[in-house]
A and B are shown apart, each in its own frame.
Chain A
Amino acid sequence: MTTPEIAVTTTNISTTPERELLMPPRSFKDVLRSGVRWESGLVILFLASLVYGWSVTSYFLNMETLFFAGLNFGEIAIMALPMTLIIITGEIDLSVASMLGLSASTLGYLFMHGWNIWAAMAICLMVGILGGALNGFLVTRLGLPSIAVTIGTLTLYRGIALIVLGSNTAVGFPAWTQNLSSPIGNTHIAYDFALFVVLALVFGVVLHMTALGRSIYAIGLQPETAFFSGIRVKRIKFSLYVVSGFLCAFAGILYTFQQASSASDTGVGLELNVVAIALFGGVSIFGGRGTIFGVVVSVAIFASLQSSLTAINISGQAQSIVTGCLLLLSVLVPNAIESMSRLWPRIRSRRPSMEVS
């Protein structure tokens, strides 16, 4: 089952001359692969969603809408970046939203108990690193399945958030923190959106242009081969979980400042949104495939659809139908293309023989 997968992705990874050596003359399948990537489909879909948004409301493309779209999606988008890398290694982290909640609660608790805001933020980030390290330890050192482990830590971190803050809501953060919920200077860019763009660039460079990035793909494709090629599989996976914990804690701080309050249920259920964004961005749940660019476009599509659907008064819950359909499409369309390309040569080769008979 996995062998064809490897072949597919190595064609993406390796340079063109090598590929021509390895592969037989270009078939219909190859043409499809090189031209029709999932990401190109995403870009088209994004443009279509912009056109749609513009057609339902003429205010769609004004700067304020873009600002709120960025503001609403910033945290989820930031958490989607480390999630992308983790899924590419073939693992998953379902504890992200709980970590965001734990960080927000810790910040609220410490601040209410008279801590300096900067010290409280530092502690939050430490909590994030520790939480990520616990996930990483359980997954890499004890070899436990990450989906089960992170469902466990999802419950655990949310539970600790409850213990820390209980049913209290922390408010009254310093005035400057509220600037984070308004645009940067005179622009119309939300702070978390700007941060997401910077982080996306960093993650993109690391994933696509460094040896570490190549190793991440290699781990997802064949962990054992990666291990025997000298890639420190466990160490890389462990670090990715730590990075994820850190960024989720950071997203928790941002979220708290933007909402100007923190409670223990901050961000409940967001984990599945984060996973959905990564998967829709073309990241394979089996690992080894996916790009940061795809995930960025995926974020853009979700943000743009959300603002246009909200503009025509469709409730957030009803909007989830769109999320669900997009997710189904993200797995069904590539499969349909795949089976089409498999059938096509057969149909073509069958035709002459039928004429002969």
Chain B
Amino acid sequence: MATTTAGSTFVTKILRFRELAIVVAIVLVFALTYLKNSSFASTASIQQMLSGPSIIIMLAVGETLVIVTRNVDLSVGSVLGLSAYLVGDLFVHYPHMPVAVALLVGLLIGLVCGVVNGAIVAYARVPALVVTLGMLYIIRGIDAIVVNGVQIQPSQIPQSFVNLGSGSLIGIPYLFWIAAVAVAIVGYVMRTFRPARDLYAIGSNPEAAILAGVRVPRRVFSAFAISGALAGLGGALWLAEFATVASTAGSGYELNVVAAVVVGGVAIFGGSGTILGAALGALLLNTIDQALVASRVSSFWNQAVAGILLLVAIAFDRYVSLRAEKILRVEGAHRDNA
């Protein structure tokens, strides 16, 4: 027993270390850029640094739930686009709709898409990558038909809703507050409650999870539903931030979200990773983007740097998990000898 607890504290240490590594990277990027350009630490710049990645953070939270179960949700970008447009269209027809209702509608639209994804993946037992890739196309196509070339214009969105995208509370943008609340709630649930821990069990060993009595289809279904709902909410926030929506809104986001999640230390084959890590991953990628702009490196470099960072993060995770495995094996051997 003693060795198992030692093993698990070691693993938690590594996990903590993983998030610490991202925090250190963010601080380092921030400090280096500040040395080069002191306006990087201005209030406006920091606010931008917090609000910029907020929507990606929302999507990354949902994506983490799905990836932890050894699945993937590629439809989040399309869900975001559809939800952003439909909420905008609702504002065009009902300009006095309260902000909370708009957010709720966005969330529900996403929930519907997530439920479809979840039902097909969990109950028809088909690979998530194929299903959500199919849904990516279907939802984007529906979006195109709904939009039909008519974009949402900023003048059609009430000021109260636009304020949500640009305003701030005690210096921190509303968008970041919302993302932070999502991270806090889902992060706490993922650490504490049994249904959420089941997700990790499913991801680390699906067969063992079934044998242990985990209701795999139900849990996987919920993960997809929540991911969809958060992507839908992200769509409403997108509308608040940009106030203009075309049929291409959020296209290509799915791979950015997966990238943020992977940089955040969530294993692509499931079973490990935290919500906080995924959120920090999104924050780091965005901070680097802005740091390059602030240090007057041509913006053409952003993507290449992000790509290298992603590869380093994946290699680093592999190295850490290999070491952890080795240490656990050595400990196991000692126990056997004793």
Of B25-33, B118-126, B154-162, the one contacting chain A is B118-126
What is the CB-to-nearest-CB distance from B205 to chain A, in angstroms, rounded to a whole number? 11
Partner of B120, one of A144, A162, A275, A328: A328
Whether B305 lies near A323 (C-beta < 8 A) is: no
Min CB gap B208→A, angstroms: 12
Residue-wise, chain B 142-165 has the 8 Å CB interface mask toward A (1 for contact) of 111100000000000000000000
Contacts of A323 in B (CB 8 A): 134, 137, 141
Q: Which of B298-321 contact A (CB under 8 A)?
A: 298, 300-308, 310-311, 314-315, 318
Assuming the contacts A157-B307, A331-B131, asked whether A94 and B255 have C-beta atoms less than 8 A apart, the reply is yes
CA distance A275 to B132 in the complex (A): 12
Q: Which residues of A contact B124 (CB under 8 A)?
A: 331-332, 335
CB of B258 closer than 8 Å to a CB of A? yes
Q: How far is the CB of B276 from chain A (nearest CB, A)?
A: 20
Contact B255 A159 (CB under 8 A): no
Decide if B48 is an interface residue (CB 8 Å cutoff).
Answer: no
B127 an interface residue at 8 Å Cβ cutoff?
A: yes
Counting contact residues on chain B (CB < 8 A from A), the size range is 35 or more
Q: How far is the CB of B149 from chain A (nearest CB, A)?
A: 9
Majority SS at the chain A contact face:
helix
Query: Is A269's CB under 8 angstroms from B251's CB?
Result: yes
**Are B304 and A324 touching (Cβ within 8 A)?**
no
Complex-state Cα separation, A159 to B298, whole angstroms: 12
The answer, yes or no, to whether A315 is at the interface (CB within 8 Å) is yes
Closest Cβ–Cβ distance, residue B137 to chain A (whole Å): 3
Residues of chain A within 8 A (CB-CB) of B140 are 317, 320, 324
Q: Of residues 106 to 131 in B, which have CB atoms within 8 Å of A's CB atoms? A: 120, 124-127, 129-131
Checking B141, B255, B262, B306 against A318 with a beta-carbon cut-off of 8 angstroms, the contacting residue is B141
- Quick check: B252 and A160 within 8 Å, CB to CB? no
* One of A16-24, A30-38, A115-123, A145-153 at the interface: A145-153
Known contacts A275-B133, A335-B126; A144/B315 CB under 8 A: yes
A-B pairs with beta carbons under 8 A, tally: 151
- On whether the beta carbons of B311 and A156 are closer than 8 Å, the reply is yes
Q: Does A154 contact B (CB under 8 A)?
A: yes
Asked, given contacts A272-B136, A320-B141, whether A331 binds B126 with beta carbons under 8 Å apart, the answer is yes
Residues of B within 8 A of A144 (CB): 314-315, 318
Asked if B259 is at the interface of the complex by the 8 Å CB criterion, the answer is yes
B54 interfacial by beta-carbon distance below 8 Å: no
Q: Nearest chain B CB to A283's CB is how many angstroms away?
A: 10
Q: Give which listed residue, B252, B258, B262, B310, contacts A269 with CB less than 8 A.
A: B252
Q: Is A310 an interface residue (CB 8 A)?
A: no
Closest to A327 in B: B134
A327 to B139, CA, bound (A): 13
- Contact of A276 with B by CB under 8 A: yes
Instruction: Tell me whether A211 is interfacial, beta carbon within 8 Å.
Output: no
A148 touches B136 (CB 8 A): no
Whether the Cβ atoms of B133 and A142 lie closer than 8 Å is no
Does A289 reach chain B (CB closer than 8 Å)? no
Q: Which residues of B contact A320 (CB under 8 A)?
A: 137-138, 140-141, 144
Residues of B within 8 A of A322 (CB): 141
Q: How far is the CA of A305 from the CA of B265 in the complex (A)?
A: 41
Most buried by A among B144, B145, B306: B144
B30 CB, nearest partner CB in chain A, Å: 22
B325 is an interface residue with CB less than 8 A from chain A: no
Q: Which residues of B contact A286 (CB under 8 A)?
A: 127
List CB contacts (< 8 Å) of A155-210 with chain B.
155-160, 162-163, 166-167
Of chain B, the residue at the smallest CB distance from A275 is: B133
A328-B141 in contact given A152-B314, A155-B310 (Cβ < 8 Å):
no
Known: A151-B255, A155-B259, A332-B120. A324 touches B127 (CB 8 A): no
A284, closest chain B residue (CB)? B127
B58 to chain A, nearest CB (A): 20
Please state if A330 and B142 are interface contacts (CB–CB under 8 Å).
no
Q: Are B308 and A156 in contact (CB under 8 A)?
A: yes
B259 cross-chain contacts in A, Cβ below 8 A: 151-152, 155
Q: Which residues of B contact A264 (CB under 8 A)?
A: 300
List 10 tightest A-B contacts by C-beta distance, closest first.
A156-B307, A159-B304, A159-B303, A321-B141, A324-B137, A324-B138, A317-B144, A327-B134, A155-B307, A152-B310
**Given A320-B140, A335-B125, 17 new contacts (CB under 8 A):** A94-B255, A151-B262, A154-B255, A156-B303, A156-B311, A163-B301, A275-B133, A276-B133, A318-B144, A318-B145, A322-B141, A323-B134, A324-B137, A327-B134, A328-B120, A328-B130, A331-B126
